[in-house]
Structure formats: structure tokens, C-alpha cells
């Protein structure tokens, strides 16, 4: 069953976990512009890992010196952060890649834009049954993300090892219908991305987004049987805002901090290759 993006309802908003508070530090990254008073708080939505952790580091160590008052709201899914941004309860969000943002805008009629790429969280294949995706048994079930762009990304990752072959014109929204060769007769089970780690006991393998893998205690560099390469990878996570807010002084301060040497070192030290810094937007 192909799932499509749906707008969050008031009930779904109860899933949002707000993570805010005051934090300051003595980092050396700098910004310019007006100071951040209560009315100038930049409210940024994020999934907990790694986006929430990166933003918390900025809030605690760098934001005060840069004159940025930062509030972080954590979300447990991929739809609500964009819905909240479009509706104005967020000023920006950090968690998605460009193909996902493009697909969301097209499906929902929103007008959200990327400001800067921040880091790459490589997607991985995880399994309790095999140590190599090429060892999957005939007829094995593989769980993949149900949303359009992440499913296409997952299938492309499997195709990179010859497990399946996709049609030549299969794009970012590739689905099982675009598989031209499936020599192992694999079955694909489409699940909400947050459910994928919990499926590992029931399937031969699951292709899991980085943030949900780490939330579940999985190490992309140690536990994945196949991990995306950073080379020419279009799936770097980006800071998004409503169109027209790209030059908001608060947003520009956050952009400078996200791309600072301090944040790059934080990502390298904390994630040890499980999340990769991006040096340009």
C-alpha cells in the first residue's frame, strides 16, 4: 500500500514533544544583527536525532554570543514539522532533505524553501538475519519507509548493491512498481519510518532513516549491513523556512552557526561518521 503525505490534525499535534529552555555558552562562532529578545525568538522544529542534538548544542554553546534566542520543538514524525512551519507556529525546521521537501510542497501546496544544507545522515539497511544484503534469502521480506521520497531512496540503496534493479527512468519517487529485476523475489513491506526499527524481529531486513535508527539505539557505522555513501548524495538535511523568510536576520544567524567550524567539530566528534557534516549550502 502506497502511503501519501497527509496534513497533521489537532490530535496528531499531541505527538509533538516540545524541548525548549534557556541555554548559553562561550562558543567562538559569531553572528551579527539585532539581539534576540523574547519577541525575537527563533522557533525551530526538529526530529530528536541528530537535528535536535545539533540545535541543542548551538543553543547551549553558541547562540548567546551570536545574539540568537533559539527555541527548539521536537517532533516524532516527518509531516508535522512542515505543517507547523507553513501554518506559522515554527519559524524554521531542520530534519528533511531536498527531495522530500520538493515532494511535500507538491503534495500539500506549501511554499517552503531550503536555506542551507547542514549535515548528511546516511540511510542504512539493518538486519538481525544477515550480515550482507546480498545474502538475503529468496522471498525475504524487506521493510521500507512508506513515504514517497524515502521509499525511493531506500530502493536506490538496495539497487546500488544489485539486490534489485530499478527502471532506468526511476526517479526520487521510485516505488516497488519501478523494480525491473528482483532476482531474489523480495517482498517489500511499507511502514511508517518511525516503525521501521521495531520491525527488525519480523522482517529479514529494514531500510531505516538515520534519525530513527539512532533513536532506537542502532549505530549506523556499526550496525548497518549497508550504509549510504556521502559522495554525490542529494539527501543532506537542510534548514527550511517559508518562502520570503530566507533573509530573516534570526535565520541568517542560525545559518552561520550551522555551518561554523564549531558545529562541524561537534558533528564529527559526537557521531563518529554516523552523521557527516556538510560544508556548503
- DSSP for 52-115, written as a single string: IHHHHHHHHHTHHHHT--EEEEEESSSSHHHHHHHHTS-SEEEEE-HHHHHHHHHHHT--EEEE
For residues 231 and 162, the model is more confident at 162
Which CATH fold would you assign to the domain 12-122+234-277? D-Maltodextrin-Binding Protein; domain 2 (3.40.190)
pLDDT above 90 (res 114):
yes
Sign of CA dihedral 67, 69, 75, 81: negative
- Render pLDDT for 80-113 as a digit per residue (tens, 0 to 9): 999 999 999 999 999 999 999 999 999 999 999 9
State residue 278's pLDDT score: 84
For residue 92, list its beta bridge partners.
Answer: 44
pLDDT level of residue 279 (50, 70, 90 thresholds) = low
Give, in order, the Cα–Cα distances in Å from 72 to each of 1, 55, 104, 234: 34, 7, 22, 26
State residue 7's pLDDT score: 39
State residue 232's pLDDT score: 81
State residue 231's pLDDT score: 80
Within the chain, all domains assigned CATH 3.40.190.10 are found at 12-122+234-277, 124-227
State residue 215's pLDDT score: 94
Count CB neighbours of 279 within 10 A: 8
State residue 17's pLDDT score: 35
Query: What is the chain's length?
Result: 281
- When pLDDT is averaged across residues 226-231 and rounded to a whole number, the result is 89
pLDDT above 80 (res 12):
no
State residue 34's pLDDT score: 39
Mean pLDDT for all residues in the chain: 88
Exposure pattern of 242-270 as b/e (b: 16+ CB <10 Å)?
beebbebebbbbbbbbbbbebbbebbeee
- To which H or E segment does residue 141 belong? strand 141-145
pLDDT level of residue 230 (50, 70, 90 thresholds) = confident
pLDDT above 60 (res 188):
yes
Neighbouring residues of 247: CB distance < 8 A, sequence distance ≥ 6: none
pLDDT above 70 (res 13):
no
What percent of the chain is predicted at pLDDT more than 90? 82
CA–CA distance, 196 with 215 (Å, rounded to integer):
11
For residues 219 and 15, the model is more confident at 219
Neighbouring residues of 150: CB distance < 8 A, sequence distance ≥ 6: 78, 100, 123, 144, 193, 209
- What interhelical angle do 80-87 and 98-108 show, nearest 10? 60
3-class state of residue 17 by DSSP: strand
pLDDT above 70 (res 29):
no
CA–CA distance, 32 with 237 (Å, rounded to integer):
25
For residues 268 and 20, the model is more confident at 268
Domain covering 124-227 assigned CATH 3.40.50.300 in the classification: no
Predicted structure pTM score: 0.78
Amino acid at each position: 500500500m502506497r502511503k501519501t503525505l497527509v496534513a497533521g490534525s489537532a490530535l496528531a499535534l499531541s505527538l509533538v514533544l516540545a524541548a525548549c529552555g534557556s541555554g548559553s555558552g562561550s562558543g567562538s562562532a559569531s553572528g551579527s544583527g539585532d539581539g534576540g529578545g523574547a519577541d525575537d525568538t527563533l522557533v525551530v522544529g526538529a526530529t530528536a536525532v541528530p537535528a535536535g542534538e545539533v540545535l541543542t548544542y548551538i543553543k547551549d554553546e553558541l547562540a548567546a554570543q551570536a545574539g540568537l534566542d533559539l527555541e527548539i520543538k521536537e517532533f516524532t514524525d516527518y509531516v508535522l514539522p512542515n505543517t507547523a512551519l507553513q501554518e506559522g507556529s515554527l519559524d524554521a525546521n531542520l530534519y528533511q532533505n531536498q527531495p522530500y521537501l520538493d515532494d511535500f510542497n507538491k503534495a500539500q501546496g506549501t511554499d517552503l524553501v531550503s536555506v542551507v544544507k547542514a549535515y548528511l545522515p546516511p540511510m542504512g539497511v539493518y538486519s538481525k538475519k544477515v550480515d550482507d544484503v546480498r545474502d538475503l534469502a529468496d522471498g525475504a521480506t524487506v521493510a521500507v519507509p512508506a513515504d514517497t521520497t524515502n521509499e525511493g531512496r531506500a530502493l536506490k540503496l538496495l539497487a546500488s548493491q544489485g539486490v534489485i534493479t530499478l527502471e532506468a527512468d526511476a526517479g526520487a519517487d521510485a516505488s516497488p512498481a519501478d523494480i525491473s529485476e528482483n532476482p531474489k523475489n523480495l517482498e517489500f513491506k511499507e511502514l511508517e519510518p518511525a516503525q521501521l526499527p521495531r520491525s527488525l524481529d519480523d522482517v529479514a531486513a529494514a531500510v531505516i532513516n538515520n534519525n530513527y535508527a539512532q533513536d532506537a539505539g542502532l549505530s549506523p557505522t556499526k550496525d548497518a549491513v549497508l550504509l549510504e555513501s556521502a559522495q554525490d548524495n542529494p539527501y543532506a538535511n537542510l534548514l527550511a523556512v517559508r518562502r520570503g523568510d530566507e533573509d530573516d536576520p534570526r535565520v541568517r544567524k542560525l545559518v552561520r552557526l550551522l555551518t561554523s567550524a564549531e558545529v562541524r567539530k561537534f558533528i564529527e566528534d559526537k557521531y563518529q561518521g554516523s552523521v557527516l557534516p556538510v560544508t556548503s549550502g
